A and B are shown apart, each in its own frame.
Chain A
Amino acid sequence: MPSGNRDRLRVQGSPARRGPLPGRAGFGAVATPYAFILPAVLLFSTFSVYPFFLLTCTSLLDWDGISATKSFVGFSNYWSVLTQDPVFWRSFGQAGFITLLALIFQNAVALLLAIAVNRRLRGASIYKTIFFLPPILSEIVVGLIWFWIYDGNFGIFNYALKAIGLGALARPWLADPRTALTAVAIIHMWKGFGWGFVIFLAGLQTIPEELYEAARVDGANAWTRFRHITLPLLAPVCVMVSILTILGTMQIFALIVATTGGGPGYHTEVPITRIYHSMLGSSRFGYACAQGIVFGLILLVFSLIQMRFQRRST
């Protein structure tokens, strides 16, 4: 540890600046910030930076992940991903389908509920507590609860349908190719809307009440107030929520593992399940990395839009 005299030099604006010249501060004082940051940097280099390079390099190899022989194949993995992997692109489209449903329904419900709870609704805090309950549960727990609710033979969902005379619709929702993907999307939205809700609510609470008062005095009705005050002022929050919904939903994984495992057939496969399968299912590590990078580059477009928006709003 450096001596107290040297430390004083490093504390900005300290009266000790009148002391010895910075040049004589010595190694201790210069090293102090690095000592503080070293543990984080070590971990970050090992588990974020190095894997990033490993990912890039491995994507150029044909490698089963175990054997010592790795053959350099250039960009042929990428070529295969782009031109010879219909299942991967199908999985991409399926994640896109869930994302689209989430963007429309999950976020609409989230916004509507946020507006409701923001209106000094009686029991608002209870609603808030309940709506944010699904987001704090794990995808595995949520997936397994719904797996049981959707169960074809004994699930409460089919039982309820029969009870109200719609027994003809009853089916194994997660095992039927026609319904599996939508059923998964519903679970995902059930888990996710509360998250959008709290962010919309936080956004709404930053809009000053005086604006609404003034509009009311001018005779603006509820719709006009929503259209001309709430919507424009909430637009940046809407964009943020939409982008985070896209990034989060496209990378859905645990929920799929807990409910369908990608089945029936390939009907609920998503990009991450495909990458996982390429890696540990078919032992094509290089190919899995190439899939990951292609997918990551597509997602990067959305995160760049997000960064641009954040810069503008701050």
Chain B
Amino acid sequence: MLMPMALSPRLTTLMQRTREWLGQVGWHVLCLPVAVSCLFPLVWMLSSSLKTQQTVFNDYRIIPATPHFDNYVRAWIQGRFGIYFLNSLGYTAVIVGGVVALAALAAYAFSRFTFRGSGFLYKLLLSTMLVPIPGAFVALYILLNQLGLIDQGQGEWLPRLGYLLPQVNVGLPFGIFILKPFFDTIPKELEESAAVDGCGPLRTFWHITLPLARPALGVVALLTALSAWNEFLLAYLVFSRHELMPLQRGLLAFHGAHLTEYPLLMAGMVISIVPIVAIYLVMQHNIIRGITAGALKG
């Protein structure tokens, strides 16, 4: 900054401080309204979930006069959100386990071995992250239908499988994309000494490499869990029975059947976001790291 030499040093620092302070205020004037607009819809959802079927339409206070926490019990039982919640929990657990296991095995092979077709296969797998195939769900539906995995009143495990397998597949490229470079950074000497001690490749992988890759495995697990929990399209295609539906599908089913029962719907939505918001608040750093890695690295 060019400052007239005549100004006393004290005045200069005062001016600088004022400028800094004004700058801070200016940026807060920008950020604060956006932050409020981010939070308000969530606050309003919470608020509506505590009102009655009558007060939700005429009591516009954020904190209702008498909060009805029993809405949550009713949503959990009568609204079937308990079933949807447990389904989502189970589906997410299986998908995360499947993606982490299969992606780690595949990424390890890509990182440690060169074999026929490895380069092509690696590129093919990762290309599914880049190339959009918007009609793929039509073909997936035909395939699942051929395999008898679309929910049409058969045994409940078939549609569940029809929901789980494609999602593990969808998660694989991202998992490999994160894990392969990470395995590359783990020094081979550790594995070599294990091999000298007579460890087979699977045991070396399990006892030496995997424990060292825990941070990367964590990122893959977190982001897979997030997308599995929020998945909708496949659930929309596969399920027709309420007792098999995950939360996202269940929310839409509830909304379709009880168009104006906002308190219970909002309670169901709060139930549906509690786990991810909790995980987000604790693991925020890792989630954002995974998101930016997925978008920025090529």
Residues of chain A touching chain B, judged by Cβ–Cβ distance below 8 Å, are 1-4, 7-8, 10-16, 30, 32-34, 36-37, 39-41, 43-44, 46-48, 50-52, 54-55, 58-59, 65, 109, 112-113, 116-117, 119, 121-123, 126-134, 136-142, 144-149, 153-154, 156, 159, 190, 194-195, 198-199, 202-203, 216, 219, 237, 240-241, 244, 247, 251, 253-254, 257-258, 271-272, 275-276, 279, 285, 288-289, 291-293, 295-296, 299-300, 303, 306-307, 310-311, 313-314
A271 CB → nearest B CB, Å:
7
A36: which of B28, B105, B138, B273 is its contact (CB, 8 Å)? Answer: B105
Please name all residues of chain A whose beta carbon is closer than 8 Å to the beta carbon of B106 when the two chains form the complex: 36-37, 39-41
A-B contact count (CB 8 A): 291
B35 CB → nearest A CB, Å:
5
Q: A1-B200, A131-B38 are in contact. Are A253 and B226 (CB under 8 A)?
A: no
The stretch from B4-12, B73-81, B127-135 touching chain A is B127-135
Q: A40-B106, A41-B121, A288-B135 are in contact. Are A199 and B30 (CB under 8 A)?
A: no
Please name all residues of chain B whose beta carbon is closer than 8 Å to the beta carbon of A139 when the two chains form the complex: 230, 232
A-B pairs, top 5 by smallest CB distance, nearest first, are A292-B135, A310-B298, A138-B230, A33-B113, A51-B139
B31: which of A33, A127, A292 is its contact (CB, 8 Å)? Answer: A127
Residues of chain B touching chain A, judged by Cβ–Cβ distance below 8 Å, are 1-2, 23-24, 27-28, 30-31, 34-35, 37-39, 41-42, 44-45, 48, 56-58, 60, 101-103, 105-106, 108-110, 112-113, 115, 118, 121, 125, 128, 130-143, 145, 165-166, 168-170, 172, 176, 188, 191-192, 195-196, 198-202, 204-205, 226, 229-230, 232-233, 236, 248, 251-252, 255, 262, 265-266, 269, 272-273, 276-277, 280-281, 284, 287-288, 291-292, 295-298
A80 CB → nearest B CB, Å:
15
- Given A8-B195, A127-B31, list of 11 further CB < 8 A pairs? A10-B201, A32-B113, A37-B106, A121-B27, A128-B284, A129-B284, A140-B251, A145-B266, A190-B38, A194-B38, A203-B296
Q: List 7 A-B contacts (CB under 8 A).
A: A47-B169, A59-B135, A130-B35, A138-B232, A141-B248, A198-B288, A254-B232
Contact between A136 and B276, CB atoms less than 8 A apart: yes
Nearest B-chain residue to A153, judged by Cβ: B57
Contact between A296 and B135, CB atoms less than 8 A apart: yes
Please name all residues of chain B whose beta carbon is closer than 8 Å to the beta carbon of A33 when the two chains form the complex: 109, 112-113, 115, 118
B48: which of A130, A148, A159, A251 is its contact (CB, 8 Å)? Answer: A148
Please name all residues of chain B whose beta carbon is closer than 8 Å to the beta carbon of A50 when the two chains form the complex: 143
Contact between B284 and A132, CB atoms less than 8 A apart: yes
Prevailing SS type, chain A contact patch: helix
Please name all residues of chain B whose beta carbon is closer than 8 Å to the beta carbon of A199 when the two chains form the complex: 291-292, 295-296
Contact between A138 and B165, CB atoms less than 8 A apart: no
Contact between B38 and A133, CB atoms less than 8 A apart: yes
Contact between A44 and B143, CB atoms less than 8 A apart: no
Nearest A-chain residue to B140, judged by Cβ: A51
- A17 vs B45: C-alpha distance in the bound complex, in angstroms? 65
A292 CB → nearest B CB, Å:
1
Q: A145-B41, A194-B38, A258-B252 are in contact. Are A13 and B113 (CB under 8 A)?
A: no
Contact between A240 and B296, CB atoms less than 8 A apart: yes
Nearest B-chain residue to A154, judged by Cβ: B57
Nearest A-chain residue to B266, judged by Cβ: A148
Contact between B172 and A43, CB atoms less than 8 A apart: yes
Contact between A251 and B132, CB atoms less than 8 A apart: yes
- A116 vs B34: C-alpha distance in the bound complex, in angstroms? 12
Contact between A112 and B30, CB atoms less than 8 A apart: yes
Please name all residues of chain A whose beta carbon is closer than 8 Å to the beta carbon of B280 when the two chains form the complex: 132-133, 136
B159 CB → nearest A CB, Å:
15
Contact between B115 and A34, CB atoms less than 8 A apart: yes
Contact between A4 and B31, CB atoms less than 8 A apart: no
Q: A55-B136, A190-B37 are in contact. Are A14 and B265 (CB under 8 A)?
A: no
Q: A40-B102, A58-B142, A132-B284 are in contact. Are A113 and B232 (CB under 8 A)?
A: no
